A and B are shown apart, each in its own frame.
Chain A
Amino acid sequence: MRVELLKLAHARSGDKGDTANVGLIALKEEFYPIIAREVTSDRVKEHFGPIVKGEVERFELPNLGALNFLLHGSLGGGGTLSLMTDAQGKTFSTALLRMKIEITEEEAKSLED
């Protein structure tokens, strides 16, 4: 079944020049393997579509139950050059949490515990 990432993770995002970073953190330790399996850089790139002009890089932090994504070319030039409301990428965190991922029935049950 498909669920919003919001059910499994929280997140914080920020900027480095024209790159937004999104730290995606499993709400519970046992959700980390699920997000590590489902939230690949390709799928994140596909999710954001035209919002992210460059590549998406992914780094794993199993020690924190977290993934870090770098979304290159997504802030309209970045910093002071950008005309965007969110020139610093602060809301990319919740934009990623909109993503729908595939989980098994058993995993779905663990969400309810």
Chain B
Amino acid sequence: MKETVRVASGQGFWGDLLSAPIDQVRRGPIDYLMLDYLAEVTMSIMQKQRSRNSEAGFARDYIALMEEILPDCVEKDIKVLSNAGGVNVEGCAEVVADTARKLGIKGEKIGVITGDDILPRLEEFLDKGIAIDNMDTGESLSGILDKVQAANVYLGAGPLVEALGEGARIVVGGRLTDTGLTLAPLMHEFGWTFEDWDLIAAGTIAGHIIECGAQCSGGNCQYDWKNIPEMEDVGFPIIEAKADGTFEVTKHEGTGGRVNVQSVKEQLLYEMGDPHQYITPDVIADFTTIHLEDKGKDRVGVHGIKGNPNTDFYKVSIAYSAGFKAVGTLVYSYPEAYDKAKAADRILRARLENLGLEFDTVLTEFVGVNATHGHLAGEPSKDIPEVQMRIGVRGSDREAVSRFTKEIAPLILTGPPAVTGFAGGRPKVEEIMAYFPALIPKDLIETKVEIIET
């Protein structure tokens, strides 16, 4: 058994720094690379892509990345875990296998995890009388069933551990939890099982700390932000874990950014609910038991973590079509910039009303005045140099939203003076994918782990 296992974070979301996972592989020692590609909105985008092209529906960035780093990973014995498979995990795995073969990499195993996609089974569940209700509102799924675009269960570390046990170099799945991607390597290496709740909680919290990439190593860090060095070369975080569940958070030597107690605390609290009950498919972790310790430059020790047995339910994220929206902006300059922007808003709203357009919501914000802190920011100074009027509408009638997008540009010649900032053309009408979070009994879900060889 390894004494220390190093798990590195390579992507905090789909669209994160492309160079980060390459740096993690090349600029210092790691054993595992975890890559998170899926936000809630991603699954519905991928379902749409796949409905147009049966070979699409996964994160293409991941393929380009694997082509770049696979030779290094084989040479250095690094394993790569990700949820890049989206809604076409098998397709994704086949493309990765082909990519490996083209690189001359033979005999490597790829673990393929499926079973998270329950879109084809929703009707069957409802027919069987299984309640799938919105966790926030209590609303039943049957009310929106015809609008559903994607439905995926959040799977935990279990199938990842199984794939690693079968010798996989690469493991790819769909809606795997971010935390499971970090926990699984530790369970595999140290032989932790779903009875060692404190250890499972420790691995889960390690995952929470690194799942947003550099957000724990200097990015978006309020504490002393001005003095965090070399953010242009920010090092992504690495967990160095021991079999007893203690671990250290660090990053490669020579990279920018900063890992300290404050940067880790900020990330621990990110998107936190009840800290006593951080619920994942693997465990209920207790954040009030975490102890942090300064271990020197760019190194924080974590110990003391406690956890409780996991629940009998998976969380399922269901995306459904919920109308349309559009947002338009114009910029007004000194003098009386804010007054001009407010006048433009009044004129525009009156025109929308005269046209008889109806929306569920119309929201105007004045960027430079109140877009982030609302009334807490107070009144702006009289000589504010410029204000951006930002107006958005939302509704079920696509035509009404589309008509709104044609009313912004006319304000340039038919509204208050000293206006600019319309280089981008008419705003786009966006279809809204809303989320319906629910719970589903674990015993209804069949996960499958397959191994393919390169």
Taking Cβ atoms with an 8 Å cutoff, the residues of A that contact B are 10-12, 14-18, 21, 23, 25, 27, 47-51, 59-66, 68, 70, 76-77, 79-81, 83-86, 90-91, 93-95, 98
Contacts and interface: CB of A to CB of B under 8 A. Distances in A.
Contacts of B365: 84-85
Contacts of A95: 372-374, 376
A85 B377 CA distance: 15
B271 A14 contact: yes
B376 A98 contact: yes
Specify which of B276, B290, B322, B373 lies most central, judged by the most chain A CB atoms within 10 Å of its CB. Answer: B373
Contacts of B289: 63
Interface residues on B, range: 35 or more
A90 B287 CA distance: 21
A61 B273 contact: no
Contacts of A10: 222-223, 262, 266
A53 B363 CA distance: 16
B373 A61 contact: no
B442 interface: no
B325 interface: yes
Interface in B255-303: 262, 265-276, 287-292
B136 A64 contact: no
23 contacts: A10-B222, A12-B269, A12-B270, A14-B272, A17-B136, A21-B273, A23-B268, A25-B266, A25-B269, A50-B374, A51-B375, A61-B269, A66-B265, A77-B361, A79-B40, A80-B41, A80-B322, A81-B432, A84-B363, A85-B390, A90-B220, A94-B372, A98-B376
B109 interface: no
A84 B370 CA distance: 11
A64 B292 contact: yes
B196 to A, nearest CB: 21
Given A10-B262, A17-B437, A51-B374, 9 more contacts: A21-B273, A23-B265, A60-B288, A63-B290, A65-B265, A76-B361, A80-B322, A83-B361, A95-B372
Nearest to A49: B375
B40 to A, nearest CB: 7
Given A17-B136, A61-B288, A83 B392 contact: yes
Interface string B119-140: 0000000000000000010000
A41 to B, nearest CB: 14
A11 B271 contact: no
